Amino acid sequence: MTNGLLWLIPGLPFAGTVILALTGTRLTRGMVPVIGAGSVGISALVTLVVGLDFLTTSTQSYQQVVWNWIEAFGFGVNISFHLDALSLAFIFIITFVGFLIHLYSAEFMVDEEGYARF
């Protein structure tokens, strides 16, 4: 099962944001859209892989626990990702449309000052 990949869907764009925020001014104009749009594009591909696995199995939902925040006296609070059919539909829309927006804006903003911040 690929439910272990759920954390990559928001994690890759977040990593791209951190990389661009920390090193964006030192990168070439060609590398900025590769990191920005590439991280969202890879996230969209991971969404496709996770979605295909979800649709081909007979499970109703996935849950991936990322971090156990607190546990005391048999009560535990976890930071986790939950995937069901409705959230899968929204993830498809968000990642694929977001990727297309990043592609368009990378070309549209190429001559702007502060290109790495877009």
- Higher-confidence residue of 118 and 79: namely 79
Q: Is 90 domain-assigned?
A: yes
Q: Is 118 domain-assigned?
A: no
Mean pLDDT of 90-99: 95
Of 9-18, 46-55, 65-74, the least confident:
65-74
- Bridge pairing between strands 75-83 and 62-72: antiparallel
User: What pLDDT was estimated at residue 118?
Assistant: 66
Q: How many domains does the chain have?
A: 1
**CB-CB contact of 54 with 83 (8 Å):** yes
Q: Is 55 domain-assigned?
A: yes
**Strand, coil or helix: 80:** strand
**Residue 16: how many other CB atoms lie within 10 Å:** 21
Which residues form the domain of 101?
A: 3-113
Q: Does the pLDDT of residue 24 top 90, yes or no?
A: no
Q: Does the pLDDT of residue 96 top 80, yes or no?
A: yes
Average pLDDT, rounded, for the chain: 89
User: What pLDDT was estimated at residue 66?
Assistant: 87
Mean pLDDT of 16-24: 90
Mean pLDDT of 60-88: 89
Cα distance between residue 5 and residue 69, in whole Å: 20
Mean pLDDT of 56-81: 88
Q: Is 24 domain-assigned?
A: yes
